[in-house]
Chains A and B, each alone.
Chain A
Amino acid sequence: MDVSMESAVTGAAGQLAGRPLEEWNAAYVKVENYFHALRVRNKALLGQLVLRVLERAMRRAPAEPDRSATKLAAEEMDRLVVEWFAAVLQEAPANADQMLTTRGRLALLLADMPGRWQEQFLRPGPWPQEFVNAMRETYFRAGPDFQLSKMAPRPLDLGPITTLTNLGRLPYVRMAMVWIGFALLLIGVFWLTHGGFEQMNSRVSSLIDWFTQFYR
């Protein structure tokens, strides 16, 4: 922190830029969490970036007493990141919709910022040309250009099966089914009254005998 900044943020005991120290601690954690989620793993770099954000928040703090330190820090973090993306990707932040940050984060990933370029993240330009190229030239495609067509099912004549599946829709089919049922009933009655009953009876009783013997 420079001297002017230091004078701006010092204040009453237990406070920094008009906010309790605990609030700045919470703000620190919030910003640190986000940068860590961006895979900035180098502790020195991480600490430096967080302090840069907090510095900007502390500058705003006296003028905006109703906003918490965390809120201020989070807003500054967002602003800083958007401005940096706009500069690196050469897009005006004023015109950018929310998709600038999406594009920027994707470019960071595809350019392998966490692996190769951590020290460049949020650093003011000029940046190494290789890094700039990697950020600007990355593209992301989930598929090649669409070449749309429309497959259409061809009718499949199922032959006799169609008749079967449509049987239920045929007129008088239910009446015919009733008649067939009646005919089967007559056949059953005939069989039972012409020796079938005795035949069935003897089979059932021998089955019962067998089971009785078995359980004995």
Chain B
Amino acid sequence: MADAPTISAAAAPRLRRGWRLFIFYSSAVLLTGLVSMLFADLLWRTGWSTSRTVLLVLFVILFLFAAIGCMHGIYGFVLRTLGTRRRITRLADYRAQSIAGTGTAIVFPICNENTVRVCEGLRATYESLERTGELELFDFFILSDSTDPDKWVEEERRWCDLVRELDALGRIYYRRRLYNEAGKSGNVRDFLNAWGRRYRYFMVCDADSVMRGQTIVDLVKLMEVHPGVGLIQTVPALVNAESLFGRMQQFANRLYAPLFIAGLNYWALDLGNYWGHNALIRTEPFMQFCDLPQLPGRRPFGGQILSHDFVEAALLSRENWGIWFAYDLEGSYEEGPQAIIENARRERRWCQGNLQHGLVLFARGLRGVSRLHLMLGICGYLAGPLWLLFLITFNWIHWYQKNSGLSDITLPAFNPYLANWSGTAHALLVFVICMVVIMLPKALALIDLAFDWQRRRAFGGLARTTLGVVGETIFSTLHAPLLMLWHTQFVITNLLGVSVGWGPQKRAADGTAWSSAVRRHWWHTLVGLVWGVLMWQLDQTLFWWFTPVLAGMALSIPLSVFTSRRSLGARTRKMDLFLTPEETAPPLELVALRARLKVHEITEDTTPRHPHAGLAEAVLDPYVNAIHVSLLREKQLNPVYAEQLARLGVGSGEVRTLGEKLLATGPDKLTAAERSLIMADAHALVWLHQQAWLRPDESLAPWWKAMIREFSWRET
């Protein structure tokens, strides 16, 4: 077995990033400084105290986060208006570049995903690539980490169907790992160890990714033109949302993201970031530098690096490989969560991964910009608890002021321009500035749209888009306090190393079930109501200022249920609200994907499958059995897999005994590990197939009789 290849990149000429970083972040610091002075002056007018110092510190940190966000919007807007050549697609002419002789693997790492969706997403990408005429330079891999045996068998069956339908034998491959070491990054590493050296590039896709063929070809051309680039990250557009929540998220993503990413590219340039999917990667440097070490210490911080993508990007950058955002390449798609709870579930996973980056933040040799990417990721989750702390401190100060008997007559402002302003007017000014900083990027996105008639039409017109922005802003205002509480919970539980179970969500036909919403949001509602009552008692004027925060919490249950409704999503679609370019003029890939998913929805049996249906299928269905056994036999050719199979106990006499037990008593009498062992043994499965069909019914467990009836007469 050969070691990973050894290559190194020549140090790329730097692109005056230092100045850009200085100007960009100085703008944010300058704005934060000025507004913080204003806020400090306000606090000083009401009498300084320790708690006011705490409040000011929290304000400075939170305002800096908001200012950085705002600067991304402003810089992005300016760059989009004036244009910039400092982007990967403009650095050199790549269109005429030949990609002959290159080999690219497009990999779909999956783990217990919706198999139909995975296969149809892959099909849409495959067919799109076929239309470019460059298909022979690409191979597709479904890299399964699925632990559910039913999923395993279904994946094999659907993969085989896909390959037959597309006549893509030797073009689309399937591999399932026996041991899921190191999650998704381990899955990709396993692929690279087996086949990585065959391909100059590889593209990682998520289970819900779809890529336009021409975009993939363009990415390969860009890589060929820029030999010092190690990774090009596309900016996936959220698509296919049906619920109200999903459509609003999708709308926000499509409208605001171009500005933010242009701003991000301004200071990151060739030290961009990797978001884990829809990115093309140069295989050799990745194999050489990006095998992640285990972090020292115990979980949740020690052990395997969960959010591996940021760290992999940092490791590539450390070795002078360029990483770019190809933010102006269209044709990269993914799907987002369809409900608030689903979104929080994902946030919880990401929170743990991002907090873990705290350990990597000070690693020696990393580029400063990589540290910034890591830092911004961490801050995204720390902002929640800090905001909560800010609100609590503010309430404490107000309560103490009111009950301490101290005078609430304010001193004149230190700032001569505000000398005659009342304390309330001064506070209102600070509040308005904060709102402007938060809302400005949205307004700039609208202005940006107004000057681009093609995009304007794609979003359904300026008036509808403005209405959409207003609706999305109202929703995100109500949603923000929920994220604040959730992020606080996630940060605290992660820091304490406590794992909070998030079992499967109960879904109604049209979205989140009420019972599920109550289970997830009861404490948000309680916090909102108790806080609201206390504030009402404390100060009724202040109560009204707090209503957006309190309403988000108090109304969390209906908010969660109603925004998850597909019917409401459809209604807003009919009203031309929250439209995105992929809705008004859907690209061919998405049209094909949706049509095929619809066919599956109509034609496929939706009755719940029997327990152990995968095992029954692998044993009884003559074709599925043949596919499954062939794949297991092929595994033996790889010494690593062969060793793992032997470690599992495959080929031992015990498997035949278990097989006899399975036939005589049915699968319920076997443990999950025993069933897995049988499923991993090719010889046992061939034997079981023969015996299940040869033996008279009387010598088989009743479960087999029922399954034989089902599998012999089903119509698939």
Residues in A with CB closer than 8 Å to B291 are 151-154
Residue ID in chain B nearest A147 by CB atoms: B197
Instruction: Report the separation of the CA atoms of residues A98 and B403 in the bound assembly, to the nearest whole angstrom.
Output: 87
Interface 1/0 per residue, B371-413 and A, CB below 8 Å: 0000000000000000000000000000110011000000000
A143 and B141: CB pair below 8 A? yes
Most B CB within 10 A of own CB, among A26, A30, A32, A155: A30
In B391-444, which residues have CB < 8 Å from any A CB?
A: 399-400, 403-404
Residue ID in chain B nearest A139 by CB atoms: B169
B360 and A141: CB pair below 8 A? no
A149 and B696: CB pair below 8 A? no
Is B686 close to A, CB under 8 A? yes
B193 and A149: CB pair below 8 A? yes
A98 and B683: CB pair below 8 A? yes
Least CB distance from A162 to B in Å reads 7
Least CB distance from B102 to A in Å reads 15
B296 and A33: CB pair below 8 A? no
Residues in A with CB closer than 8 Å to B198 are 144-145, 147
Is A6 close to B, CB under 8 A? no
Interface 1/0 per residue, A57-77 and B, CB below 8 Å: 000000000001011001101
Is B687 close to A, CB under 8 A? yes
Residues in A with CB closer than 8 Å to B687 are 98
Is B621 close to A, CB under 8 A? yes
Residue ID in chain A nearest B687 by CB atoms: A98
Is B627 close to A, CB under 8 A? yes
Residue ID in chain A nearest B190 by CB atoms: A151
Most A CB within 10 A of own CB, among B315, B358, B404, B629: B629
Instruction: Report the separation of the CA atoms of residues A57 and B315 in the bound assembly, to the nearest whole angstrom.
Output: 69
A206 and B403: CB pair below 8 A? yes
Is B713 close to A, CB under 8 A? yes
Residues in B with CB closer than 8 Å to A108 are 623
Residues in A with CB closer than 8 Å to B637 are 146
B164 and A158: CB pair below 8 A? no
Residue ID in chain B nearest A140 by CB atoms: B630
Least CB distance from A35 to B in Å reads 9
Take A102-B625, A149-B4, A206-B403 as given contacts and tell me if A110 and B169 are in contact as well, using a CB distance cutoff of 8 Å. Answer: yes
Take A140-B169, A143-B195, A154-B289 as given contacts and tell me if A149 and B1 are in contact as well, using a CB distance cutoff of 8 Å. Answer: yes
Least CB distance from A208 to B in Å reads 11
Residues in B with CB closer than 8 Å to A150 are 1-4, 193
A105 and B173: CB pair below 8 A? no
In A1-42, which residues have CB < 8 Å from any B CB?
A: 26, 30, 32-34, 36-39
Is A166 close to B, CB under 8 A? yes
Out of A37, A99, A141, A149, name the residue touching B711 (CB < 8 Å). Answer: A37
Residues in A with CB closer than 8 Å to B196 are 147, 149, 151
Least CB distance from B388 to A in Å reads 20
B708 and A33: CB pair below 8 A? yes
Take A36-B713, A152-B3 as given contacts and tell me if A106 and B292 are in contact as well, using a CB distance cutoff of 8 Å. Answer: no
Out of A33, A36, A138, A141, name the residue touching B634 (CB < 8 Å). Answer: A141
Residues in A with CB closer than 8 Å to B573 are none
Instruction: Report the separation of the CA atoms of residues A214 and B5 in the bound assembly, to the nearest whole angstrom.
Output: 72
Most B CB within 10 A of own CB, among A33, A101, A151: A151
- Report the contact-size class of chain B (Cβ under 8 Å from the partner): 35 or more
Residue ID in chain B nearest A159 by CB atoms: B362
Instruction: Report the separation of the CA atoms of residues A150 and B293 in the bound assembly, to the nearest whole angstrom.
Output: 14
Instruction: Report the separation of the CA atoms of residues A39 and B716 in the bound assembly, to the nearest whole angstrom.
Output: 9
Least CB distance from B465 to A in Å reads 46
A158 and B195: CB pair below 8 A? no
Instruction: Report the separation of the CA atoms of residues A146 and B5 in the bound assembly, to the nearest whole angstrom.
Output: 16
A149 and B2: CB pair below 8 A? yes
B195 and A147: CB pair below 8 A? yes
Interface 1/0 per residue, A195-216 and B, CB below 8 Å: 0000000010011011000100
Is A94 close to B, CB under 8 A? no
Residues in A with CB closer than 8 Å to B626 are 102-103, 105-106, 109
In B284-309, which residues have CB < 8 Å from any A CB?
A: 287, 289-297, 301-302
A158 and B1: CB pair below 8 A? no
In A90-126, which residues have CB < 8 Å from any B CB?
A: 98-99, 101-103, 105-106, 108-110, 112
B627 and A106: CB pair below 8 A? yes
Instruction: Report the separation of the CA atoms of residues A142 and B682 in the bound assembly, to the nearest whole angstrom.
Output: 15
B713 and A153: CB pair below 8 A? no
Instruction: Report the separation of the CA atoms of residues A139 and B175 in the bound assembly, to the nearest whole angstrom.
Output: 16
Least CB distance from B406 to A in Å reads 11
Least CB distance from B52 to A in Å reads 16
Is A165 close to B, CB under 8 A? yes
Instruction: Report the separation of the CA atoms of residues A174 and B189 in the bound assembly, to the nearest whole angstrom.
Output: 40
Instruction: Report the separation of the CA atoms of residues A144 and B171 in the bound assembly, to the nearest whole angstrom.
Output: 9
Residues in B with CB closer than 8 Å to A70 are 696-697
Least CB distance from B640 to A in Å reads 8
B621 and A37: CB pair below 8 A? yes
A158 and B197: CB pair below 8 A? no
B364 and A149: CB pair below 8 A? no
B193 and A158: CB pair below 8 A? no
Residue ID in chain A nearest B159 by CB atoms: A142
Q: List 12 A-B contacts (CB under 8 A).
A: A34-B712, A36-B712, A71-B694, A78-B694, A98-B687, A102-B630, A108-B623, A148-B193, A149-B3, A154-B289, A165-B301, A210-B403
Q: With contacts A139-B170, A149-B196 known, what are 10 further pairs, Cβ within 8 A?
A: A32-B712, A70-B697, A77-B693, A101-B686, A109-B160, A109-B626, A141-B634, A144-B195, A159-B364, A206-B403
- 3 tightest A-B CB contacts, nearest first: A33-B712, A105-B626, A159-B362
Point out residues on B near A: beta carbons under 8 Å: 1-5, 139, 141, 160, 164, 169-170, 173-175, 189, 192-198, 287, 289-297, 301-302, 315, 358-365, 399-400, 403-404, 534, 537, 620-623, 625-627, 629-631, 633-635, 637-640, 683, 686-687, 690, 693-697, 708-709, 711-713
Point out residues on A near B: beta carbons under 8 Å: 26, 30, 32-34, 36-39, 68, 70-71, 74-75, 77-78, 98-99, 101-103, 105-106, 108-110, 112, 138-162, 165-166, 203, 206-207, 209-210, 214
